[in-house]
Structure 1
Amino acid sequence: MKNIIFWLRFSVLNFFMVSVLGVLMRYKIAFSLPMVDQKHVQEAHSHFAFYGWITQIIYVLIIRYLQGILSEEQLKKYNVLLIVNAVSAYIMIPSFIYKGYYWLSIAGSTAALLTSFVFFFFLLRDLKGKRNLIKSWFLGGLFFAVISSAGVFMLSYMMMSDNVTQTLYLASTYYYLHFQYNGFFIFSCIGFLLLSLRNIGAEISEKDTKLIFWLLFFGTLIGYGLSVLWMKLPLWIFIAIVLATIAQTIGAVKLYMVVKQNWTKVVLSFSALQRFVLMYVGFAFFAKIMLQLGSNIPVLSQFAFGFRNVVIAYLHLILLMCVSVFLLNQILATNVFKMTKPVITGLKLLLLGIFLNEAVLGIMGVLSIKYVAVPFSAEILLAVSLLMMFSLLLIFFSLKKKSL
């Protein structure tokens, strides 16, 4: 697709827009901004982060992967889907900030959600019969994106019927979030990782790839139960959830071993900064897996879901430190942009900002057990958000296309 460079740059702009909304939220917490409704900004922030930034760049990178498989004519329909998703995402920002959930914001989010259905259908049809080990990760990810919609439809039904029960509301919300970030986002990222390894000549057996895929797939499918452990579940369901978590852990360890076995090729092909980013993301993914494993312990699970700071820290760990950093690095690793000093500086500052953000949220989460407040936490988090916003702005304006 000829305009792939535009979409890559556009995705970085979208990441910057997510950070702007984050700064707005943090400013309102630290200082007064009466004209803005915090809940509405939060809804705009979360929806745009999911659809405008993460989903959009996953689509772009999947289309780039398809360039070597499908013809330009076949790729045209995917370009239309990129436009529909982008327009839908940008409708969400002003509409959610203005009034929260109402017909325009619901129309925007529904259009983006339905786009994932069509993208999945097209990909399933176009890759049918093509022997490719990577495709299962993208199809698996989009499968989770599609089934996550059940949570959204349940929430919409409850709001329309004006029959909202707290238990079902939380269960539906966590259902959607779980299959988005543990399913769609993580599976897509693993697909891009394995594709990057394959492109540098790494040796990954078909047996290992399939085993890792199915361990993580069924682990994610059943692992939704971790999000609803606060409900009274029968013993056999709890045992199934524990086994699913163990399966995910084994799959993650096997994925780590694949990277470790090919580390010599990674060193020869990736820059020192790229290798550092891979370890940075790997650490976040490892922390996610360990926290999942630990959340099978009822006391830890109650703590995790009982404190807002802990939930926010966990979501940021996955969405920011793991997924977003990895996807931004994938944009830079496409080798279509010059890795100039400002781009490298911007990336380093962003990594620092995200680490500080996670550290502060983590400390706040741990101290909240004893109901101890971190002094000036709102101001510190605002400063960290500004650091992330300016680092993304620096990266965006410094992206220069490589001369052919």
Structure 2
Amino acid sequence: MQTTIRIWIKRALLNLLLVALAGSLLRYKVLYSIPSVDYRNLMHAHSHFAFSGWVSLCLSVCIAGMLKLNENRFRHYQFSFWLLLIAAFGMLLSFPFGGYNIVSITFSTLSILASWHFAFIVWKDLGSADLPAAVVYWIKAALCFYMISAAGPFYLARLMVTGSPYQQWYIGSVYFFLHFQYNGWFAFAVTGLFMGMLYRKGISINSKTIFRLQFVACIPAFLLSTLWMKLPQWLYLIAVGGALLQVISMVLLLRVVWKEKTAIKQSFDKVPLLLCNLALLAYCIKTCMQALSVVPDLSYLAFGFRPVVIGYLHLVLLGFITFFLLGYVFQQDHLSLANGRPVPGIICFVTGVILNELFLFIQAIASIAGTNIPLINYFLFVAALLMLAGLIVLNYSQLNNNFFKYGISSKKQRGATASTS
């Protein structure tokens, strides 16, 4: 099964490359005219494919790998993976040419059905998995939020069909989906994988209190995404409470990780350790930004300036989730670090992500100050190209390791495989 896990992780990694390619095209579109490309439609394709084709697929495969399933049982999971992959590519190829239409909505719905199928089979197998209860709780909560997030797109579809004139409900539906994906499915699954990885290495972390705080905070924290709607005072106070619980949970997590820092450092390879540390840093920044958004003046800045929103979304998706997933798959040997070949690609990609966040921050400050930085979009395009280049190198570094099911490998390797079969 380990070989099959690696194949699916490499497919997900290739999808991340396609996400970066679409992102680079978006940055190019800002600078130069491409009449045949609609920016908004391409942005929808970019974001939907990032969620389904990269993050959700990679998280799903990693969770399945953590369960130590037999080959027969794993076939049920592969059905979910294929559904998700087909849906992701359907959205990638349909959104740019028609935006929200019957084709793209059909593939979007398919991705939701794939998530529900995956959640159902994982829930059944978690009961017999060789994992501590705390890890099981994190994964089950992630699956719950994964399914709950679907209410956002479904309600958005209803609004579009009925032609509702209330624009805030359209935006609210999108934020509902984003919140329960980012802060629910993504964040809880990442934490569960992290705790499970430590458990397999003999490092036991008591995360029950952290889990309870995060779980209780997740639902009211959605209100942090709706502060621009001028909520009643009692809903605002609930939002503040959710933000405070998230900060307390973050502090407790940092304490337990710091307590086990020596054991963790000794158990991790250098590259995965660096990526996980960067992910932890991004998680802390993300949590602090959410907490600061309860301040009315800062809330206005967060929702009133596009670079702030884009910077936050990329901080979570790239800095927190993607850095962790790359660190995880390398540490678990789902991707190979042999001979250090992926290292230049990782360095290039990480540099691109950091520069992207830096330039977005500068752009946001300039927008708030009412000024314009003429070359900032060129800098952002360069950062996007760095991420793309890093992922090209990273994917290339894995080519001699059975990239697809039937293998993209050297003639020498294929000959060796054939002689032993």
TM category, shorter: over 0.9
Corresponding residue of 1:290: 288
Corresponding residue of 1:248: 246
Corresponding residue of 1:372: 371
Q: Identity, % of aligned pairs?
A: 34
Distance 1:272 1:129, change over 3 A: closer
Matched, 1:140 2:141: yes
Distance 2:396 2:171 in 1: 40
Q: CA deviation at 1:159?
A: 1.1
Distance 1:250 1:339, change over 3 A: farther
Q: CA deviation at 1:234?
A: 2.3
Q: CA deviation at 1:333?
A: 1.4
Corresponding residue of 1:38: 39
The alignment partner of 1:61 has SS state of helix
Per-residue CA deviations over 1:300-338 (Å, capped at 9, x if unaligned) read 011100011110011111111111111122121122423
Superposed counterparts of 1:241-280, under 5 Å: 241-280=239-278
**Is the CA contact (8 Å cut-off) linking 1:332 and 1:339 kept in structure 2?**
no
Corresponding residue of 2:78: 79
- Which letter does structure 1 place at the counterpart of 2:42? V
Q: CA deviation at 1:284?
A: 0.8
Q: CA deviation at 1:397?
A: 0.9
**Is the CA contact (8 Å cut-off) linking 2:67 and 2:126 kept in structure 1?**
no
The alignment partner of 1:311 has SS state of helix
Distance 1:297 1:323 in 2: 26
Distance 2:185 2:141 in 1: 7
Corresponding residue of 2:114: 115
- Which letter does structure 1 place at the counterpart of 2:48? H
Superposed counterparts of 1:2-13, under 5 Å: 2-13=3-14
Q: CA deviation at 1:183?
A: 0.7
Deviates more, 1:307-316 or 1:227-236: 227-236
Q: CA deviation at 1:90?
A: 0.6
Superposed counterparts of 1:165-176, under 5 Å: 165-176=166-177
- Which letter does structure 2 place at the counterpart of 1:85? L
Corresponding residue of 1:56: 57
Q: CA deviation at 1:204?
A: 1.5
**Is the CA contact (8 Å cut-off) linking 2:275 and 2:326 kept in structure 1?**
no
- Which letter does structure 1 place at the counterpart of 2:291? L
Corresponding residue of 1:363: 362
- Provide runs of 4+ in structure 1 moved above 4 Å: none
Per the normalisation by structure 1, the TM-score is 0.95
Q: CA deviation at 1:272?
A: 2.7
Corresponding residue of 2:198: 197
Superposed counterparts of 1:343-354, under 5 Å: 343-354=342-353
Corresponding residue of 2:216: 218
- Which letter does structure 1 place at the counterpart of 2:363? M
Per the normalisation by structure 2, the TM-score is 0.91
**Is the CA contact (8 Å cut-off) linking 1:120 and 1:142 kept in structure 2?**
yes
Q: CA deviation at 1:127?
A: 2.1
Distance 2:71 2:261 in 1: 35
Corresponding residue of 1:235: 233
Distance 1:401 1:269 in 2: 25
Q: CA deviation at 1:123?
A: 1.6
**Is the CA contact (8 Å cut-off) linking 2:64 and 2:122 kept in structure 1?**
no
- Which letter does structure 2 place at the counterpart of 1:81? S
Distance 1:163 1:234 in 2: 23
Corresponding residue of 1:15: 16
**Is the CA contact (8 Å cut-off) linking 1:321 and 1:354 kept in structure 2?**
yes
RMSD: 1.7
Matched, 1:25 2:36: no
Q: CA deviation at 1:276?
A: 2.0
Corresponding residue of 2:309: 311
Structure 2 portions without partners, runs of 5+: 403-412
Deviates more, 1:99-108 or 1:273-282: 273-282
Matched, 1:88 2:87: yes
Q: CA deviation at 1:129?
A: 6.1
The alignment partner of 2:349 has SS state of helix
Deviates more, 1:346-355 or 1:112-121: 112-121
Corresponding residue of 1:299: 297
**Is the CA contact (8 Å cut-off) linking 1:201 and 1:265 kept in structure 2?**
no
Superposed counterparts of 1:332-351, under 5 Å: 332-336=330-334, 337-351=336-350
Distance 1:46 1:388, change over 3 A: same
Distance 1:102 1:5, change over 3 A: same
Per-residue CA deviations over 1:286-313 (Å, capped at 9, x if unaligned) read 1111111111111101110001111001
Q: CA deviation at 1:393?
A: 0.8
Q: CA deviation at 1:96?
A: 0.5
